[in-house]
Amino acid sequence: MTTKTLCIIIPVYNEAEGLPDLLDRLGAIADSLADEFALIVDYIVIDDGSRDGSFALLKEYDFGARATRLLRFSRNFGKEAALSAGIDAAQYSDAAVLMDADLQHPPEMIADFVRIWLTEDIDSVYAYKPSRLRSEGPMKAALSKLFFWVINHDLRYDIPPGAGDFRLVNQRFMNALRSLPESDRFMKGLYGWVGFRQTGLPLEPPPRLRGKSNYNPLQLLLVTLDAITSFTTMPLRLMALSGVVIAAVSAAYGIYIVIQYFFFPAVPTGIVSVLALIAFFGGVQMMFLGLLGEYVGKSVLEAKKRPIYILSDDISRKENTIADRG
């Protein structure tokens, strides 16, 4: 029986404070996987333009005999690009695990992923939050539910609510992801788009022990807008529907004004309500134009065909490197 290879892909951005803990725990899990499943476990770590010494720490860390490939971007290209770089580099592995570096993706769960992959012939095993209400509060949970309703509406595939990037994907799944040409990527959507056999495991993420999140509320809003405009035209349909509704309401109001003029001449006409309506419709038009501009802007960026990322360093930490296996 041929020994299978598992690659652990870790995007890193300003995670120097917590990296030693992560790598120590991963080392123990990798040894356990090698013993239990007879797997060869490799690492691919992608530094996404960190400014806190994360890459220097990675170069100095003792990975032992384990094959490790350290990639460093020429600047910050974003997590989606880092995940794509890791998948590109894992072309000689039978499967890969994608995970964050902040330890909110517990390394110990990798064994559950591997067990399902090996015993059930699943192409992708992912972790999902069973309930956002408990960890994120009612407002964020409601917005998340609305987001997934919009993005999944009228699609031939499904993006599982609560599913993230923490997942195992086999080589067939990775080949499908590599074949996608777009440079502006929303990986959680691409996982659903490529299809194949997928299954999920519930995960309540533990609290972040070190460092802080790289996403503030404004960035999360922009990521959400980017995801929606990348994967569905539902907002454009809602714009058209809103136009119909507004036109109907305006027509009804116009009829009301005509009736008031002829049958109730003593009732004074309010200039304030007219100005409020003008401001309201002007705001709606600006919002719709901005949304339309998002779609046009994405088309322009994709037409330029720029690379998803640019590497400044590519370091292999063992003679028998991951690439040498090809």
Mean of pLDDT values over 27-31: 88
Average pLDDT rounded to a whole number, residues 297-321: 76
**Whether residue 319 has pLDDT greater than 60:** no
Q: What percent of the chain has pLDDT over 90?
A: 19
**With 70 as the cut, is the pLDDT of residue 271 above it?**
no
d(Cα 92, Cα 325) in Å, to the nearest integer?
7
Task: Judge whether residue 68 has pLDDT over 90.
Answer: no
* pLDDT over 70 (residue 222): no
pLDDT at 147: 67
User: Encoding tokens for residue 29?
Assistant: 């899990």
Each residue's pLDDT tens digit, 97-126 = 999 988 889 899 999 999 999 888 889 999
Residue 166: which residues within 8 A CB-CB, separation 6 or more? Answer: 98, 99, 100, 105, 109, 126, 127, 203
Place of tokens 């119909």: 244
Rounded to an integer, the average pLDDT of 240-266 is: 71
> Mean pLDDT, to the nearest integer, of 153-181?
84
Q: Is the pLDDT of residue 177 over 60?
A: yes
Rounded distance between C-alpha atoms, residue 14 and residue 210, angstroms: 11
Q: Up-side HSE of residue 95: CA atoms within 13 Å toward CB?
A: 23
pLDDT of 174 > 70? The answer is yes
Please count the CA atoms within 13 angstroms of the CA of 25 that sit on its side-chain side.
16
Q: What's the CA gap between 1 and 65, in Å, rounded?
A: 23
| pLDDT over threshold 90, residue 233 | no
Looking at 3.60.10.10, 3.30.420.40, 3.90.550.10, 3.40.50.300, the CATH number of the domain 5-144+160-212+308-325 comes to: 3.90.550.10
Domain boundaries, the chain: 5-144+160-212+308-325
Kindly report whether the global pTM for this prediction surpasses the value 0.85. Answer: no
Distance CA 248, CA 243 (A): 9
Mean pLDDT of the 133-140 span: 62
More confident residue, 14 or 242: 14
Measure the CA dihedral 149/155/157/160, to 10°.
-10
Amino acid 325: pLDDT = 53
- How large is the average pLDDT for residues 281-304? 72
Does 73 score more than 70 pLDDT? yes
Q: Would you say residue 170 has pLDDT above 90?
A: yes
Q: Does residue 272 register a pLDDT over 90?
A: no
* pLDDT value for 214: 57
Residue 136's identity, in one-letter code, is E
Model confidence band, residue 322 (pLDDT cutoffs 50, 70, 90): low
Task: Write down the mean pLDDT value for the chain.
Answer: 79
Structure tokens at 301: 């960026």
The whole-number pLDDT of residue 95 equals: 93
Flag whether pLDDT at 76 surpasses 80: yes
* 296 vs 198, residue with greater confidence: 198
Q: pLDDT class for 195, splitting at 50, 70, 90?
A: confident
How far, in whole angstroms, is CA 120 from its chain's centroid?
Answer: 26
Average pLDDT for 270-281: 66
pLDDT for res 83: 93
Would you place residue 173 in the very low, low, confident or very high pLDDT band (cuts 50, 70, 90)? very high
Contact 54, 102 (CB under 8 A): no
